[in-house]
Amino acid sequence: MTSEMAKALDDMRNGRIVLIFDSDNRERETDMVVASEMVTPVIIRTMRKDAGGLICVTVHDDIRERIETPYLADVFSRVAENYPVLSKLIPNDIPYDSKSAFSITINHRKTFTGITDKDRALTITEFAKLAGVSLNQDNGWAKDEFGRQFRAPGHVHLLNARKELLTSRIGHTELATAMIVMSGLTPTATICEMMGDDGNSLPKEEAREYAIRHDLCYVEGDEIVRAWRNGGWFR
């Protein structure tokens, strides 16, 4: 493991943002990433203002199996008989992926509108708490508690990570979740794409410069995959 990766994992444990670039052969995007259990309103504001993409929360498959967060594409497919327009929206032409990771959107029931920095931080940290507890509970408890604490739709987008992390899919959802797993934290990450002022994603060089200016770790997808494989997580 490189010293930069080791520092990035330490930063994760300390609630700091880490920048992750996926690949020149995929989205070619850099995401701000932080452990969901460490999210604060200040972090949400930083993601909103300095990154500018969509703030999402990843769901490790072990958590997904307990609370049963569906893939949104599967939901659309199953209700297409009643809503035929959904059958025309199948995302089968994503140029860099075989299936979208998007699941449902949620708000915690103690939020008001759900979109403020404080509301989103509350939704995310409470989801992380539930996720951590659910790993030691049966599926029935986890689903009931999920419904008791959260409502949908909401303003926090959940992303389902693939069952075998960093095997069939190496997107930001899996890369960020793998970083959290290697950090020893509850396996859910909060991520947001970094956007440029020209209407495109922030170029890699500018993302690196941002990391330097703000003393943040910047890691690439292949570095994470190597650390995952060398650490014995890759199986």
Active-site amino acid positions: 31, 56, 96, 107, 155, 193
Across the beta sheet with 189-193, the strand order is: 102-108, 150-160, 56-59, 189-193, 30-35, 18-21, 217-220
* Cα distance between residue 149 and residue 138, in whole Å: 17
**Coil/strand/helix, residue 33:** strand
* Strand ranges, E, within 14-129: 18-21, 30-35, 56-59, 102-108
* Cα distance between residue 207 and residue 32, in whole Å: 10
* Cα distance between residue 150 and residue 191, in whole Å: 20
* Cα distance between residue 126 and residue 22, in whole Å: 28
